[in-house]
Amino acid sequence: MANGAAVKPVVRFEIEDGIGIITIDNPPVNALGPGVRDGIIEALETGEADPAVKAMLMIGAGRSFIAGADIRQFGKPRAQPKRPVPDVLDASSKPVVAAIHGYALGGGLEHALACHYRVAVPSAKVGLPEVLIGILPGGGGTQRLPRLIGPRRALEMIVSGRHVPTEEAKALGIIDEILPGSDLRAEAIAYARGIADRRPLPRVRDKADRLEEARSDPGMFEDMRKAIARKAGKQKAPYHCIHCVEAAMTQPFDEGIATERRLFAELENTEEAKALRYAFFAEREVAKIPGLPKDLKLPEIKGAAVVGAGTMGGGIAISFADHGFPVKLLDASPEVLAKGLARIRNTYATSVRRGSLTQAEMDRRLALIEPVEGYEGIAECDAVIEAVFEEMPVKQEVFAKLDSVMKPGALLFSNTSALDIDAIASVTTRPEAVAGTHFFVPANVMKTFEVVNGAKTSPVTLATAMKLGRDIGKISAYAGNCDGFVANRTRIPFNLEQGLMVEEGAMPEQVDRVMVEFGYPVGPFAVNDMSGLDISYATRKRRAAADPNYRGLPITDRLVEMGRLGQKTGAGWYRYANNDRTPIVDPEVHQIIKTVVGELGITQKSFTDEEILHRLLFSSLNEACKILEEGKALRASDIDVMWLNGFGFPRYRGGLMYWADQIGARQVYNQVAIWHQRYGARWKPSALLHQVAEGGGSLREVAARMPS
């Protein structure tokens, strides 16, 4: 090493009690980065050659076994190990045990599958999540897993990419034994000693019984293709995964491996794989707030309170209970509190009915939610989240009350989706302990969690809110304090263009088709019908009352005034038959549009699909650039994370900023400038967009100069 400092080996080999211990030590998650595979091979060869070694075990140092290949290496030229590790394991004459804690994912599980035995601690997770980054298990996973657990289960695991907990992995046959885990290394050595003399060595590649069983069900692959069609859309990776598992049924092992390698190579540098890799790292980067000291001492949040037992309050309480936090749910009205609890109970009961939750787990989570009628009942909580009606006077009244009852040091968070955090904090004596924690609807499902930084919010409060979001399973993202913060503010132009294009001649069903073909699960008009047209109607009325220049949406207003509130009234932008949720195009809506357009005297035109797509997304993109200019968002990639996890933006397109880069900042700017000429101020190009376009740079790499 240039400065002479010894390079810590990423793989260590030691012998203890006749067992060769191969330790992978490549923090933070022992990814199979440079030197790791070669290190493992070297250790295996050392153990193989040493007569003192009766068996070997592979174990990870730190918090995990192996979390897979080093994703940062993909798309780049990289040295390949002299032989694939699984081949070396297959050739071993001595048993090798994989001792798993933390995660065995992707190449990590594939290494374990090539070992002769797999043991794990109760809290471990295993999986082949490659499809989530647009590729497939390229280290033998598609050939070994079907042989070990049967093609149907393997197909489900590989196509979903889900992480499987130890207990289920044991039941499936992936894990041979669950070890207590108080001292995994010692427990695994004892296990290895126990199997050291067993022969023949159980190689997964030799197993055929589970494949035989499945020969009676050849239709499973076609069934899976049909089952994933809607969600997979145009993505290649899920179908390549199915093809590989199918090859395990139809080809000898080594030919199956060749098929897997060929299809892996086809996927590694696809646009979808690049976009999904970008999304993976963007979702890690979003947690970091530049300038926040890493060693900031954060208060521990052991229990929280939620004020307001409405739909949002209930969903927030569920998020806490789902992650093991005791939570007090407060509402001044006993009726609203009872209704809120009933809604929570119903949400859990639905999950039990669907089999995604056990009754015991439902009871355990419900027991964590304590209804409270008085403020004094929450005074000792470490943090409180206010989720009351979205009116400033109401919010300020609640915060003044919270300030007077909450214990010193308690943090006061608001779930407001747009109101001024500084104005809310101003009624308290502890504005440094106030921040926004904006959940998305439904709060117990959506992962985006906007943490809004007020002018007086302290770094500790900000960092604690960010961590709290992650602790309840959310993706926390920084947002500066401005109208609509970041996510909603980028969405407002989209909603406006959506409404205006219908006035100008685009049909709701055309817009929805364009967005579904683009990759959205549902079109924006159908989404409006799901959440109810009356929600935004009230907001528009409030904004029009406050701002005479506010551009309303007369067509949508007309629908609401005619009682067409969406699915809940059986009609909105679409018609819904007999409680069915399938949107049906309704000629009556076309008539309403015609009438209102006539009253507005608007000349209509036809729209191309591309024009619709660009009007919607460029309007938000332009606003996103303005937000970055103002420093209200830290990075362009944060905005992408919000759109992927808050607005259902198709993940294999990377996000709004990433997608715009595929078109090119220059082209986007030019179009925005044209629309500025045609439609006026609302399309005024962002200076940052112009700058990036001029500079030929990329939008997704933009980071705010001065966060505010």
Name the residue with the smallest CB distance to ligand T1G. Answer: 106
> Using CB under 6 A, which of the segments 129-137, 182-190, 556-564, 612-620 binds ligand T1G?
129-137
Ordered alpha helix ranges (H), 65-114: 85-90, 107-114
CB 137, min distance to ligand T1G, A:
4
Task: Identify whether the C-beta of residue 103 lies closer than 8 Å to the C-beta of residue 90.
Answer: no
133 binds ligand T1G per the rule CB under 6 A: yes
Binder of ligand T1G out of 47, 84, 86, 106 (CB under 6 A):
106
Q: Is 335 a catalytic residue?
A: no
The region, left, alpha or beta by phi > 0 then psi within -120 to 50, assigned to residue 308 is left
Judge contact between 451 and 437, C-beta under 8 A: yes
Is 5 exposed, middle or buried, given 0-12, 13-18 or 19+ CB atoms closer than 10 A? Answer: exposed
Q: Give the residue carrying structure tokens 């509190």.
A: 337
Select 282 or 555, whichever has its Cβ closest to ligand T1G.
Answer: 282
- 110 in catalytic set: yes
**110 binds ligand T1G, rule: CB under 6 A:** yes
For ligand T1G, the closer CB: 471 or 504: 471
Alpha helix ranges (H) inside 568-608: 587-600
Please report, for residues 192, 218, 233, 398, the alpha-carbon distance to residue 187 in angstroms, rounded to integers and kept in the order given.
Answer: 9, 41, 46, 54
State the minimum distance, in angstroms, from the CB of residue 29 to ligand T1G: 4
Nearer to ligand T1G, 137 or 685 (CB): 137
Candidate ranges 35-43, 133-141, 180-188, 440-448; the one touching ligand T1G (CB under 6 A): 133-141
Residue 451 backbone phi and psi in degrees, to 5: -105, 115
84 contributes a contact to ligand T1G by CB under 6 A: no
How far is residue 95's CA from residue 206's CA, in Å, rounded to a whole number?
Answer: 15
The total of other beta-carbon atoms located within 10 Å of residue 79's CB is: 10
Q: How many CA atoms lie within 13 A of 441 on its CB side?
A: 13
CA distance 22 to 65: 11
137 binds ligand T1G (CB under 6 A): yes
- Determine, following the binding rule CB under 6 A, whether residue 105 of this chain makes contact with ligand T1G: yes
- Asked whether position 68 contacts ligand T1G by CB under 6 A, the answer is yes
CA distances for 525 relative to 1, 494, 509, 531, 608, angstroms? 60, 12, 8, 10, 18
Query: 291: how many CB neighbours lie within 10 A of its CB?
Result: 8
Side-chain-side CA neighbours of 413 within 13 Å: the count stands at: 31
Residues 138-157 that bind ligand T1G (CB under 6 A): 138-139, 141
CA angle 462/466/471 to nearest 5° reads: 140
Site size with ligand T1G, rule: CB under 6 A: 24
Asked if residue 364 binds ligand T1G (CB under 6 A), the reply is: no
Q: Which stretch binds ligand T1G (CB under 6 A): 100-108, 449-457, 493-501, 647-655?
A: 100-108
Residue list 14-33, contact with ligand T1G (CB under 6 A):
28-29, 31
By CB under 6 A, residue 484 contacts ligand T1G: no
Pick from 42, 70, 246, 382: which binds ligand T1G (CB under 6 A)?
Answer: 70
Distance of CA 458 to the CA centre of its chain: 28
Interaction of residue 245 with ligand T1G, rule CB under 6 A? no
For residues 2 and 393, give the distance between their C-alpha atoms in angstroms, rounded to a whole number. 63
In angstroms, give the least distance from the CB of 278 to ligand T1G: 12
- Could you check whether the bond before residue 200 is cis, i.e. omega within 30 degrees of 0? yes
Total residue length of the chain: 708
Q: How far is the CB of 272 from ligand T1G (least distance, A)?
A: 15
Q: Which is nearer to ligand T1G, 512 or 638 (CB)?
A: 638
Q: Which amino acid appears at position 68 of this protein?
A: G
Q: Nearest approach, Cβ of 357 to ligand T1G (angstroms)?
A: 22
What is the footprint of ligand T1G within residues 532-571 (CB under 6 A)?
none
- Nearest approach, Cβ of 679 to ligand T1G (angstroms)? 41
The catalytic position among 14, 42, 45, 110 is: 110
Of 55, 71, 220, 247, the one binding ligand T1G by CB under 6 A: 71
Find, among 520, 511, 502, 608, the residue nearest to 556 by Cα.
Answer: 502
Under a CB-based contact definition with an 8 Å cutoff, are residues 95 and 116 in contact? yes
Q: Which of 13, 65, 103, 683 binds ligand T1G (CB under 6 A)?
A: 103
CB of 141 to ligand T1G, least distance (A): 6
Site string for ligand T1G, 270-289 (x = CB under 6 A): -----------x--x-----
Which of residues 41, 55, 67, 301 is near ligand T1G by CB under 6 A? Answer: 67
Enumerate residues 206-225 that contact ligand T1G by CB under 6 A: none
Q: Report d(CA 553, CA 574) in Å as an integer.
A: 17
- Residues identified as active-site: 110, 130
Binding residues for ligand T1G, rule: CB under 6 A, are: 28-29, 31, 67-72, 103, 105-107, 110, 129-130, 133, 135, 137-139, 141, 281, 284
